[in-house]
Structure 1
Amino acid sequence: MSATPRSAAKPGVPPLLIAGIVSFGTLFETMNSTGLAVALNTIAGNLASSPESSDTILTGYLVAQAAILPLSGWASLYFGRKPFYICCVAAFTIASALCAMAWSIESLIFFRILQGMAAAGNAASESSIIADTLPAEQRGLGFALYGMAVVLGPAIGPVYGGWVAENASWHWIFWLNVPTGIAAVTGCILLLNDPPAVRNATRKRRAKGLRLDWFGFLLGAVGLASISYVLDRGQTNDWFATSSILWATVIGITCLLLWPIWEMLARDPVVKFRLFKNRNPAIAVVLIFVTGATLFGTPAIVPLLLQQQLGYNSTTAGLVLGLGALPVLFLLPVTGFLTGKVATRHLVGVGFVSVGIGMYLSSHIYPDLSFSQIVCFSIAQQLGVGLIYTPLQSQSYIGVPGKLREQAGTFMAIAVNMGGSVGTALAVTMLERGQQSYREQLVPYASPWRDEYQQALRQYGSAESFSQAIDTQAAVLSFQGVFFIIACAIAACLPLLFFLKGKPSPEDQEA
């Protein structure tokens, strides 16, 4: 495999090893976030805080990450790709150690904000490093490794987080990041390289001085952070009935509407929306947004179904997601091999159809399913992701000049981040609102003057038990409705695949 002008691999270092190194960072970041989500109640009790305060542990991270993402592409170019990436990994590791030593809920929230800021720099740099290091026709293999980290982290994170919360101490969710972070930093120092093409671009940027499109950055940072806050806290705070949610929505939408207009007119924009004149990254960003919503939205509600309605503990609920992701891990290398050989729209089309079918099947879930049957539903939901993520990541760099690849990485990171936030918020909101709606529809059937009600009382033994049965039925119907809506949303995206054109070629790498 020949070296490329912007390769991040030192001479003699296999390019796929570089893809593995940067994917390793993503693995322990996603494990940390998803593992933490199932341990919030334990953390709240340990630090003597309310559930609302513990939720801020997640919100602070997401808002900080969203705010810094627009700056990440510019920072990678100004400070140098290798130094910037290593500093971000090191900062995430240090912040993880501080989180593990947190003495109060306020200190933990602050250290999580530092974690989110560091993670934003990693996310934008990793995909551009892979795109630059591997020849265009081989990028699929690199992004397959990256995709394995993206899928594996959310799958095993809840298993690890649930087990630690129940059998050890929540602090170990963060302590795990320290040795893995040290290993990642060491590997990056020894193996990564900024070649002449990258160093020249950095020198040119620094020659202009510390000139930054501050207004453009603020528009993007405030807009993305505000919307992330709204999506994460909206359902908890009753959406627009709360003034903070209402004002954050107005501010966020206003900033995001002005952001591309300002950046298109700016002489030296912090993010270059002109990149979307190339339809490959434009369509890829839209589809990866939908994929992010599915990849992170579904795992947010499946544990609720398993724990609240089926009586699973947090470890077993996490195990369902982990086992469901196993076939995806085996499929990703095959997808990586096929990427560049088979048209992207064909691979992604099969993936979207597979995920849609999986969601449709899940819309028929019911409480009496066995553990193995639940795992099969989880596999059906996630299997198609293996055919989607890798080709779309590779497609987003087709025809993108080397000097703009950090920008492409920034947009893809924003798409995954915001897609996950939107997917989670919509899934949780539809779930809770659906439960209320279905209960209101079922309660009239519980009239004492109905023969069915008298039969149900005899069956369940008491009115209280019968009321619980109604709650369970309403919840299951709501879960079914959410899965059906997700299936419809995925089907609605299929026409976009016809606009995907082009295959990676050796000439693309030299662009």
Structure 2
Amino acid sequence: GILAFIGMAAYLPVIAKRVRGFDFFGFAMLSLGVGALQLLLDRGGEVDWFNSAEIWIELALSLTGFWVFIIHTVTAEHPFIDPKIFLDRNFVTGLGFIFVMGVLILASMSLLPPMLANIFGYPTVTIGVVLGPRGIGTMISMLVVGRIMHRFDARILVAIGFLLTAQSLYTMASFTPQMDNWLILTSGVIQGLGMGMVFVPLSTVAFATLDARYRTDATSLFSLVRNLGSSIGVSVVAALMVRNTQINHTELSAFINPYNPNLWAASPAAASGNAAALSQVDRAVNAQAMMISYINDFKILMVMTLAAIPFVILLRKPKARPAGGAPAAHMD
């Protein structure tokens, strides 16, 4: 934070003219909507979602905040976020894509550490080492894409990035409790490459046609939508994880009975009703039920990624920059 402040103080130009006042009411209503939604998502799993009065209160506050913010934004003379930015098709489409990226980034990352700890028994340091190459893939991809963007259509790069992300999730959907680290490492690197390939061209195309006076508002909204996607994604996959684990455990437990010859072959003591042996079998069933739930979540994220790719056609290709170096305002 200190380094960022020093960098801004040193290089950002000083704007003496006050462009407009601060819309505190709009900011407060947006904060209410986002804050209540965040509480709803974070607390839902702990208080049994809509069986709790707290969740209904948070839902009402969130809907009220967003509704009042929208009405105020449309009717106010100087709103917190100028609604004219939503007339730009590239920017609106970019918001949709960055929402999906927000879901994919944190939702998949929130699943892997508990999976490695609970099923594979990895210590914390090992989990960090195994997941580290994902960041290396992102770094390499962003460096390469930044150099080749002027040679390739940014929309193609975004589509390729989503395809790589989908490929990594497809690989993750084949995880088993018996696999080694290699599959985790390779899927992480591929996902990192895909995400890095999306970020740079998506940001460029999303802001390419937007008037310069709207870019401050647009940048804030871009980050907000990505964070909302992350919050919603983490909450949804966590809720599905808990629900599916319970369902899978119930279905698998139906086969743990003295009439199943496979149980007699695997553990005669458990088939005979030995409590210690049944406890060991129950732990194995728990691990398998959790693994199936993780795989289901990875498949859902993969389908979501593939479903987003066709919307790349809604983005318009930026024309070459004019001689003066200013961003072009027109698109093909």
What is the TM-score normalised by the length of structure 1? 0.60
- Find the residue that maps to 1:506 and give its secondary structure: coil
2:257 is aligned with 1:439: no
Q: Which residue of 1 aligns with 2:307?
A: 492
Q: Percent identity?
A: 23
Aligned pairs for 1:247-286 within 5 A: 247-286=57-96
Map Cα deviations across residues 470-500 of structure 1 (whole Å, 9 max, x no partner).
0000000001000000001111111211100
Q: Which residue of 2 aligns with 1:61?
A: none
Q: Distance in 1 between matches of 2:259 and 2:328?
A: 78
Map Cα deviations across residues 79-128 of structure 1 (whole Å, 9 max, x no partner).
xxxxxxxxxx4xxxxxxxxxxxxxxxxxxxxxxxxxxxxxxxxxxxxxxx
Aligned pairs for 1:7-22 within 5 A: none
> Once the 2 structures are TM-superposed, how far is the Cα of residue 275 of structure 1 from its aligned partner?
0.2
Q: Distance in 1 between matches of 2:155 and 2:179?
A: 35
Q: Among residues 185, 189, 204, which one is paired with 2:5 in the alignment?
A: 185
2:228 is aligned with 1:382: no
Map Cα deviations across residues 293-330 of structure 1 (whole Å, 9 max, x no partner).
11111111100100011000111112222122212211
Q: Distance in 2 between matches of 1:395 and 1:286?
A: 13
Q: Distance in 2 between matches of 1:398 and 1:186?
A: 28
Letter in 2 for 1:492: A
Q: Which residue of 2 aligns with 1:194?
A: 13
Map Cα deviations across residues 246-293 of structure 1 (whole Å, 9 max, x no partner).
211122123224422320221110111220101111100110110011
Aligned pairs for 1:328-407 within 5 A: 328-407=138-217
CA change 1:454–1:312 in 2 (3 A) is same
Long gaps (5+) in structure 2: 271-275
Q: Which residue of 1 aligns with 2:327?
A: 509
Letter in 1 for 2:72: W
Q: Distance in 2 between matches of 1:443 and 1:215?
A: 55
Aligned pairs for 1:95-494 within 5 A: 181=2, 183-189=3-9, 191-194=10-13, 199-200=15-16, 202-205=17-20, 211-458=21-268, 462-494=277-309
Letter in 2 for 1:395: V
| Larger proportion of helix | 1
CA change 1:390–1:473 in 2 (3 A) is same
> Once the 2 structures are TM-superposed, how far is the Cα of residue 417 of structure 1 from its aligned partner?
0.9
Contact 2:94 2:206 in 1 (8 A): yes
Contact 1:396 1:408 in 2 (8 A): no
CA change 1:338–1:254 in 2 (3 A) is farther
| Coordinate RMSD, CA, aligned | 2.0
What is the TM-score normalised by the length of structure 2? 0.90
Q: Distance in 1 between matches of 2:70 and 2:89?
A: 16
Map Cα deviations across residues 2-32 of structure 1 (whole Å, 9 max, x no partner).
xxxxxxxxxxxxxxxxxxxxxxxxxxxxxxx
CA change 1:259–1:340 in 2 (3 A) is farther
Long gaps (5+) in structure 1: 1-88, 90-180, 206-210
Letter in 2 for 1:223: G
Map Cα deviations across residues 368-409 of structure 1 (whole Å, 9 max, x no partner).
111223212222333210111111111121122222110110
Q: In terms of Rg, which structure is larger?
A: 2
Q: Which residue of 1 aligns with 2:273?
A: none
